Structure 1
């Protein structure tokens, strides 16, 4: 027994032993052996006092041999956390996460930019096609009903094919939404009435006074008194609209007051939303709310159109009026599709940005629409008229900046 024993005290003194034949499959040796000469001597002393007998080893282990050219190293099943590989993996993961965040932010920015571009584009198409129809077909109530009807069909298809989740509406919710649908209907109706009477650029110049109505109505019904900065930003808006109005070539009072009524109803809708629909339980998102309002507006205005204007959109009537049926029908459809699309995209943007940012975007949209309509329709614009429009739009932008600063301060 003693002759078969060997000592671990010297790494070069391990005798060469003949391997025995084992019936079982070979396994790894759990005994950790180092053949390096750099091992401290205190370890050698410890090993020399503890000789290991080969005969005491289980048969499943291979005997140790000094003739092996590969050093034996321990096999640790638990990976080390302190090695350079671990550090590199962690650093790479952090870099990947940072790149993922930057990539996601870039995608969101591009998506938002695309939505703003579509918002402006659909607005341009709507105002051009709508004006072309209203110039030859003088029935703004019927035109507005057609636009709500196309929107209703679009929403129905969207819900039917699960393109957007169909909401579960209660009677209490409908009762709250009904006043919003009424003012939404009136706002769009008055806008179409104004577009039928005056130039597109003038209608949108007047509609730049929306912030003025918003401040007045908020002070009257919500008790929100404006700051001196807000009041100061309203002065160029009012002054610019007045200057543009007195120099407008297509000015008439029907178009002017229709645009003013549109401002009043649209801003009363916003104020009413703040007053009635503040943090109600089970509140719906903006797109769903707009979809329901569109359907309700159609059913509210359709009887009014029949009562006031009759059924005047039939091919027989259009032919008798000397109109091209196909041309009027196609442009009415395109105007209606653009109308619903730009409002849908507007609500999609509102879900992604703050109301103040949306207001700034709306100001830019108005500039784009005015410029594009002047170019397309070759609207005569005097220098003073252009100056008044520019002052009014600059006031709207200033108002938006003041609201942004106020929101940050709050």
Structure 2
């Protein structure tokens, strides 16, 4: 009887593991799907209607996320979260990191080519791995870190490389990458923390509201006539309003699935999947818009694809370990633990404690400073280079011309 009972228990465990894996894969595929939908909607919105106010578009995306999350919480479909001053501070830092990533990314494109920015952006998983170790105490196996090399190198190769260089542009783009990585690590920690443990939709609602407040002065500084442009396009283009609604709706789904994946798989896996998302989006963009593709681009995306599958395999057989975080920033609790990393959900995602004072370092990436550094001509150049900017991410690029693939 004991043998039969053991066999039955093992079968049930295997079945649960299989179901969990299927759910994770379905979630990732859905995330890719809505990301591609957002990319196409934004591409059509910009190319077909001439809408260029991308920071205002990001603000509208945040307002949509705030409104949708608020409605769901108000209807009782999503649990609300009582906010202490400490929790509010954590959410504010998370929101600030998002806003800084958007502002710094826009500013960098006024000084460096879009393809060079794409190559630099490929380093985001490496920065995320470092921050996850420093803030959460999440230590990956050496072979897992090594698997990041083709993930990063493939995207950099696909960007084609650029001989043009600007120290200011480089600094701004690396600030954007660091802020984006910090956002990913913080949201993973807050979603898996045993004491704070936000529901993904609740955290999205609070983060979107504060991010919208941060974005308002940025929009006023760099796109003061954005609402006038929207009104004119609404009156003159029959496609503008439907495309804008699709873009905002897709952005809500993208951000929600982003938070869910971050909770289930961890910050580093989210960034690795984000690099692979560029491969998927590039293929969809080529199919829909007939964009040109280079041999170097195909080779680079092939290397990234190999790296993503290698990374997933390494995470599965070499789970991350929990160590004492170097700098907790006061944003995670010492007892926190959470979901796994990798497509099978294996490995543990943890959070660490630390002092609050170091969190002030995050504020050095001032949004107002980034906005002030842009002249009117630089703003135009930046906005021409940014198409479909969402969450500080760029559309994948396959050519040196800066045109999205």
Range class of TM-score, shorter chain: 0.5 to 0.7
Match of 1:367 in 2: 279
What's the CA shift for 1:296?
Answer: 1.1
Higher relative contact order (CA 8 A, sep 6+): 2
SS in 2 for 1:165: coil
Counterparts of 1:140 and 1:96 in 2: how far apart (Å)? 56
Summarize deviations over 1:306-341 as a string: whole Å, max 9, x none.
23211423467535xx98444222212211211110
Question: Bigger shift: 233-242 or 297-306?
Answer: 233-242
Summarize deviations over 1:381-408 as a string: whole Å, max 9, x none.
1112221233244334434444444426
Match of 1:329 in 2: 241
What's the CA shift for 1:219?
Answer: 6.5
Match of 1:137 in 2: 51
Is contact 2:38–2:247 with CA below 8 Å preserved after alignment? yes
What's the CA shift for 1:168?
Answer: 1.7
1:168 aligns with 2:168: no
The change in CA–CA distance for 1:359 and 1:297 in structure 2 (over 3 A counts) is: closer
Is contact 1:201–1:370 with CA below 8 Å preserved after alignment? no
Counterparts of 2:235 and 2:171 in 1: how far apart (Å)? 29
What's the CA shift for 1:126?
Answer: 0.7
Larger Rg: 1 or 2? 1
Q: How many residues align?
A: 318
Gaps of 5+ in 1: 1-86, 88-92
Counterparts of 2:317 and 2:270 in 1: how far apart (Å)? 15
* Aligned partner of 1:123 among 9, 21, 35: 35
Is contact 2:191–2:200 with CA below 8 Å preserved after alignment? no
Match of 2:250 in 1: 338
1:150 aligns with 2:61: no
SS in 2 for 1:407: coil
Match of 2:205 in 1: 291
Counterparts of 2:139 and 2:174 in 1: how far apart (Å)? 22
Match of 1:379 in 2: 291
Counterparts of 1:385 and 1:243 in 2: how far apart (Å)? 7
Counterparts of 1:129 and 1:271 in 2: how far apart (Å)? 28
The change in CA–CA distance for 1:199 and 1:177 in structure 2 (over 3 A counts) is: same
Question: Bigger shift: 237-246 or 118-127?
Answer: 237-246
Gaps of 5+ in 2: 323-405
Matches within 5 A, 1:178-189: 178-188=92-102
Superposition TM-score, scaled by structure 1 size: 0.61
Counterparts of 1:300 and 1:187 in 2: how far apart (Å)? 12
What's the CA shift for 1:225?
Answer: 8.0
What's the CA shift for 1:169?
Answer: 1.5
Counterparts of 1:389 and 1:310 in 2: how far apart (Å)? 38
